[in-house]
Amino acid sequence: MNHTHWSNYWQSGVQTSLPQDFKDNYDGEIYYLWEQVVSRLNSGARVVDACTGNGAVALILADIALKQQKQLIITAVDISEINTQYIKENNPKEQIAMINFKSHCPIERLADLINDQQDAIVSQFGLEYSDLTQSAVALHNLMKENGELSFIAHSPKSAVFTYMDLESRIYTWLDEIGLFAIIKKFIAGQVSANGLKNGIVSVIENNKPDTSYLGHGLFQSWQKTMFMLIKQPNQQLKQQKQSLSLFVTQHQAAQKRLQDMLNVAMKVSKNNWYQPFVDCGFELEESNDVLYKNQHHIGRYYRFRSMVLEKP
């Protein structure tokens, strides 16, 4: 599977997968959950942050460890390209010094990069994207007996998925009415600047959006961009092909990430979606909804203990 759309996202310069909700790093109830994990670890413990993205959780663990006067050996891995330059420029050196970042590492192949047995493995909005049968075995093989697997997973009940479902419908509508198509034709030189403007005006006049789209950030962004294109002088518009190409590429990548998330929503909607972890030797100890600021449902927390499977 091509993960360029995720690599591009992290390279754009964001810390979390929910930048509209968290300007910097995760805080509140999310921070508290990871604080509890670190409190159960001894200084010198080995920890893997799987599906780290741009290291949000790994950095939180390091921050908490420093506050608790502990040293952790953290390995943060992701299947995409981690933006280590962004991380170094936007986070304290003391936290970064505690973390070893490894890109292009699928969970299913963690053993290829990590040899030491781990005291804990953590993840946030990541494990559920993997092949659970394979990743559960890989994690269990990497874990010490009685090691802790803790992660926050997406939940179909969360406000995030309500927002994304609407966003998906907006993208589908933009495709259907032909806005993507007319911009691509202009970029490719198949229509003139006037042709682009007339095409946009025609699309707007002949297609009325659903009222639920009007207050959504994605719709407002497209609306603002289309009106800007209509008003630009033709010569100036011709010079915007490169930026327009980037605009389309970024939105197509966002659409792919969105589809990944919606596919995950279908996966975690099943009550026993995490059964592969149980089957390979993890015992579920805790499972709770995560409510940010005691009101926004943003996911579900799971804590497992690594057990030794009895031989038949």
- The model's pLDDT over 259-289, given as tens digits with 9 standing for 90+, comes to 888 888 888 888 889 999 999 999 999 999 9
* Type of residue numbered 267: K
Pairing of strands 46-50, 73-77: parallel
The closest alpha carbon to 57, from 108, 134, 124, belongs to 124
Distances (CA, A) of 200 to 12, 169, 223, 279, 292: 28, 20, 10, 54, 40
pLDDT in tens, 141-181: 999 999 999 999 988 777 777 777 888 899 999 999 999 89
pLDDT value, residue 309: 57
pTM above 0.75, yes or no: yes
Enclosing H/E stretch for 303:
strand 296-306
Q: What percent of the chain is modeled with pLDDT above 70?
A: 95
Enclosing H/E stretch for 49:
strand 46-50
pLDDT in tens, 187-205: 999 999 999 999 999 999 9
Cβ neighbourhood burial of 143 (10 Å; 0-12, 13-18, 19+): buried
Where would I find the H helices in 143-240? 159-177, 179-187, 193-206, 217-231, 234-238
Instruction: Tell me the fold of 4-156+269-306.
Output: Rossmann fold (3.40.50)
Average pLDDT over residues 291-296: 76
pLDDT value, residue 18: 67
CATH 3.40.50.150 residue window(s) in the chain: 4-156+269-306
Determine contact, residues 290/300, Cβ cutoff 8 Å: yes
Q: State the first-to-last Cα distance of the chain, in angstroms, to the nearest integer.
A: 36
At 143 the three-state DSSP class reads: strand
Determine contact, residues 261/164, Cβ cutoff 8 Å: yes
